[in-house]
Structure formats: structure tokens, C-alpha cells
Structure 1
Amino acid sequence: MGQHFSLLGQWLPPRSHFSVSDIPDLTGKVALVTGGNAGIGKETVKHLLVHGAKVYIAARSHTRAIGAINELERETGKRAVFIELDLANLSCVRKMAEAFLGLEHELHILGVMWPAHDRLTTDGYDLQFGTNVLGHYALTKLLLPALSEGARNSEEGKARVVIVASMAAYLNTIHWGSFTPGPVRDAMSTYELYDQSKHAPVVFAAELARRYGDHGLVVTSCNPGNLRTDLQRHVPTPFRQILQYGLLYPAPYGALTPLWAGTSAETLDMNGKFLIPWARLGECRPEANDPEISRKLWKFMEKATGV
């Protein structure tokens, strides 16, 4: 049984039993990390490279990604590969997936935090929902053939999908009708929209696990912890300063749980599970595991993305 959410457990999690030195040899493995040019994603890329994986960094900005790749090469002696991806543009997601198909990989998902309330994706969806939910759904679905091939060719007979949410997954649920401009969305704050966009991926992960667990996929979602990264760049300055210097942990801590999910033998039988800091089995709020809600979300995502 996983551990339920508690405020004390969130801010002061126990010491991790898992460390980056426990990551096995990943030689021959191919990993794709979205948002791998900063924060948790960058830390994740670093340790995947150190342990022998071939790592693709999927990001919007070529300049920022190459800067991160150069820095990581200086630190590790290994070079990641940039691949352009704008999760807020479904056409770009399709093009990226087409270029990547045929490669085996593990997928680690990251999103954006608290952008301006009025911003939308290229396809007209709320930016946070479109990026954190629809974009990642479409990318995962389009790359399922490569994931299945990776599972068939691996010693474990498994491929991993690690979906990174946040503590915000506990704070709200899905508000149907809020995904596009209209009265429901207009009544929600940017913080509520963000919370929804981090809860919905946990719902998506649970349904992906139900549908594809028998195909060799191990799908987990996780709360990586409360961390100091540039994802807080849209938070108002006074609140951001309180967070950065009083309540948050360094980014390397945040990579522990996703790396545990994506590499450890301990997590091979955790398909459909929710993981919490640092490298522990936990539970999200009950709505995240409601099959009726997850089927409804899946149906919406299929229609919205055409995938």
C-alpha cells in the first residue's frame, strides 16, 4: 500500500533509499527526455548519460538545449542529442514523433509552470493543459511502436514511461469545459489551471497503464518533490523568493524519483503506480484512479489530438 499525501511528508520526506549510484548500466538503452535542458529534466539526462544511455533532449529552444548539452558533455564526457519538440503545437509533436520512430526509448515527461492565464496552444487549448496533457498524450501514443519494440528487445521485456506531475496533482481535479476559452476556464485562476494540468497526467498515466501494461509497458507517474528550478519563473516575485529560499529542495533531489521509476529493478512491477519523494510508492487523490474519469479523459484526448 502506498503512502497517502501529508503536508509534513511533502515538505520533509525521509531520506531516500535510492541514489544515483544505484542506477544500473544503461548501455544500449535509448532515452527521450522532454524538457531535458533545465531543472529536473537536465538532472535526469545527466545521470542517464553517466550510466551509458543514449539520451535525446526534446525541447523547443535549440539554443537552450545545445547549451545544456554542451554543459552536460563537459560534466559527463557524454553527449546528448537535441530533437526539436513544441508540445503546445500538435503538428510539431507529430513531426517529431515521425522523426524518432524506430528507436527504442524510455520517456520522461516534464511540463511548464504557471504561464500567463490568457495563453493558448497553437491548436487553441489552454496552454498548460495543452502542453502538460494533450502534447504528452499525443507524443506517447505516436511513439508506442518504438516503446513496444524497446520492450521486446530488452532483457526485462519492459519499456518504461515515466510521467512527472507535481504536488499540484493533489490540489485539484479535472474541470470539464475548461480546456478551451469559455466560462469554465475564465472562472479558474492560472494556479487552478496549473493544478488541473498536473492532476490530469496522473489520470492519463493510470489509463495508459491499464491499456498497455500487457504490451510490455511499465507506466508510472510521480510527484518529484518541491524543487528550486526555473519552472517557477512565472510565479509572482515575492512568493517565488519565499519558495526558492525557504521551502524548496535543489533540483538534483527531484531527479531521484523519476530515475528510480525509469531505471530500478524495484519499479518493474509498479505499472500504474504513483511515486512520491524521495523514491517511494505513494498514492494520489482518489479521482486519479477512477476508471470512468480516465476513460472520459482518454476519449477527449483522442478526439482533440486525432491520435
Structure 2
Amino acid sequence: MGQTASSFSQFFPAKPTFTAADVPDLTGKIAIVTGGNAGIGKETVLLTRNAKVYLAARSKTKAEVAIQDLHAGTGKTALFLELDLSDLASIKRSTQEFLSKETELHLLFNNAGVMWPPIDQVTANGYDLQFGTNVLGHFYFTELLMPALLAGATSSSDKKARVVTTSSFGNYLAKGINWDSLKDGPARRKVDTQALYNQSKLGNVLIAREVAKRYGDKGIVSTSVNPGNIRTELTRYVKTPGVLPYFILVQNMILYPVHYGAITQLYAGTSPQTLDSNGKFFVPWAREAQPNAKALDSDLGQRLWSWCEEQVKVHVG
């Protein structure tokens, strides 16, 4: 049994016992990191040792800078994969592009995310920007890539392929899923942006657990993580009304350097110790823990999965 996940120790974790030096050699593995152009995603790309890494991001310009940094630091070259998780059509194009080049995928880091944007920002399909990007976008991306993940599991010596979804401590702060707030409308506009973020992070854990249930017997190891309180561009909306006081509270605690943020998801995605951790949740630094109790609700997970399927069917068939 993992440690109690609601423990305040997640804000002040003990010194990590798993570090970048412990990431095993990944020669022959193919990986995708969403949001790999900056922050925790960039660090994950940099530290994914010897894997063939696709850096999935919206901005080709920012991605190219990250790719140059990777080459300068490691001599390895990542590959750009255009992806806008807030647009279901873009997700479909992105996966088609990847699948035209690769038949296997061994590591998928669903790392990209949006936090606390202005309430008037929504996805291309009219969903709350945070839920549409963080949850629905990654759901669709993962499902379209599942054939390659299953092929990757079949070809791997350990017969596994891994999907790691980045949640946050915010999952504990969610009271559940407010179904009326997932698409734009009067009900959504009444919910503050922090609450919308928290429910998206709960949604990340729910979907990760559903992937584990549905594909675990086929070699897929699906986990989710709280990477910790990290200094990244994710906090760019801190001037949004109502957000600043919460950010100041966190700022007064400990915000760790960005390389710390990759530790827990690299542990979940690459360590031999987590090979049989399907459906588990990990917290700083590289510790198993329990998520929000609502994330363990099978009925809620099933309902969210069905909702995601329905939205995809409506917009992209």
C-alpha cells in the first residue's frame, strides 16, 4: 500500500532516491512526450536516455529550440510532432503523422497541460480549455495511438508499453466532476478557474486508471503522477483575477527547479520497479501513493470514459 496521498509531505518531499542517473538505457525504444518543448516535458525529453523521442507540441519554433538544447546536451536529436491538444482535429492529424512513420510506441508521456487560464478561453470544439486539453485531448491522443502502443508491448523484451499521465496535487482538491462545466456555457462561467483545473487533474487520474483497466491485460502499464510543485511556464496565468492569492501561497512554499519535475514521471515510465504498477499513482519524489478517493470510483471512471468517447464521436466520428 502506498503512502497516504493527501499527506502534506508532497509539498516537502524527502530527497529523491530515484534520479536522472537511474533512468535505464532506452535504446530501441520509441517515446512521445506531449508538451515536450518546455518545463517538465522538456526535462523528460532531455532525460529519456537513448530513446527515439517525438516532442509533441503546438509551436514548431519552441519545439526546435528544445530540440537544439537536447542535441547540445546529449548529442541526440528529438523529432517534432505537431500537436494541439485543444483541437480534436489536430490530434487526429498528429497521430496520423506519427503512425505514418512508426508502427510501434513504447513510452507515452501525457505531460502537456493548461492551468488557470482566463475563463473565456475554450478549446476549438467549445470545451473548457483545461478539461478539453488536459483530459479529453489526452484521452483521444492515447486512444488513437493504442495500436502502436500494443505493438510496442508485443515487441518489447518485457512485453510492456507504458503510458504516464501528468496530474497534480490539484486532484485532491477536486470535489468531483461538474458535468455542466465541461462545455462552455452559463454553468461553466460560474465556476472559478482553479476549480476547473482541479477537476481536470482528477480527470487525468480517472482516465489513466481506465486505460489500465482496459488495456492492462494486453501489456499496457498506465500510471498517473503528481510531479510536484515546480517552477515552469504553467503558472503564466497567475495574474488572472482570483488566481494570484493561491499562487502566492504556493510561491511561499517550495517551488523546485524544473528538473525535479521529471523525476516522478520518469520513474513511473522507465524504472523496472514500476513495471507492474498498472493503475498506480506516484508523487514526489518517485513514491507510490493514493490519489483523491474519488479517483478510485470505478463508476465515475466509466462515466468519464463514456463521456470522452461520446465527445470524440460527435466531433471527429
Report TM bin, short chain: over 0.9
1:20: how far off? Answer: 1.2
TM-score between both structures, scaled by the size of structure 2:
0.93
Match of 1:229 in 2: 232
Match of 1:265 in 2: 272
2:278 is the counterpart of 1:278: no
Match of 1:143 in 2: 145
2: CA distance, partners of 1:194 / 1:29: 33
1: CA distance, partners of 2:267 / 2:27: 17
1:176: how far off? Answer: 1.2
Match of 2:194 in 1: 191
Q: SS where residue 247 of structure 1 aligns?
A: coil
CA-to-partner distance for each residue in 1:248-295, whole Å, 9 max, x for gaps? Answer: 111111100000011000001100001111000001111101110000
The sequence identity of aligned pairs, in percent, is: 51
2: CA distance, partners of 1:244 / 1:66: 30
Structure 1 contact 33–56 (Cα < 8 Å) conserved = yes
2: CA distance, partners of 1:262 / 1:91: 28
1:87: how far off? Answer: 0.4
Match of 2:104 in 1: 103
TM-score between both structures, scaled by the size of structure 1:
0.96
Structure 2 contact 164–268 (Cα < 8 Å) conserved = yes
1:5: how far off? Answer: 2.8
1:184: how far off? Answer: 2.7
Q: SS where residue 228 of structure 1 aligns?
A: coil
Q: SS where residue 123 of structure 2 aligns?
A: coil
Structure 1 contact 90–305 (Cα < 8 Å) conserved = yes
CA-to-partner distance for each residue in 1:222-270, whole Å, 9 max, x for gaps? Answer: 1010111111000128655664575311111110000001100000110
Query: Aligned in 2, Cα 1:185/1:201: closer, same or farther, shift over 3 Å?
Result: same
2: CA distance, partners of 1:9 / 1:241: 19
1:214-253 to 2 correspondences below 5 Å: 214-236=217-239, 239=245, 240=247, 243-244=250-251, 246-253=253-260
The more displaced of 172-181 and 260-269 is: 172-181
Match of 1:287 in 2: 294
Aligned length: 305
Could you tell me which of 148, 154, 173 is aligned with 1:152? 154
Match of 1:18 in 2: 18
Structure 1 contact 85–93 (Cα < 8 Å) conserved = yes
Query: Aligned in 2, Cα 1:276/1:138: closer, same or farther, shift over 3 Å?
Result: same
Q: SS where residue 33 of structure 2 aligns?
A: strand
CA-to-partner distance for each residue in 1:53-73, whole Å, 9 max, x for gaps? Answer: 010000000100001111121
CA-to-partner distance for each residue in 1:194-244, whole Å, 9 max, x for gaps? Answer: 111111010001111011100100000010101111110001286556645
2:38 is the counterpart of 1:38: yes
1: CA distance, partners of 2:59 / 2:250: 26
1: CA distance, partners of 2:5 / 2:75: 39
Could you tell me which of 46, 71, 74 is aligned with 2:72? 74
Match of 2:53 in 1: 55
Match of 2:29 in 1: 29
Q: SS where residue 98 of structure 1 aligns?
A: helix
2: CA distance, partners of 1:267 / 1:132: 24
Match of 1:119 in 2: 121
The runs of at least 4 consecutive aligned structure 1 residues that moved more than 3 Å come to 237-246
Structure 1 contact 228–244 (Cα < 8 Å) conserved = no
Q: SS where residue 115 of structure 2 aligns?
A: coil
CA-to-partner distance for each residue in 1:5-44, whole Å, 9 max, x for gaps? Answer: 3453021111112111111110000100000011110111
1:103: how far off? Answer: 3.2
Match of 1:300 in 2: 307
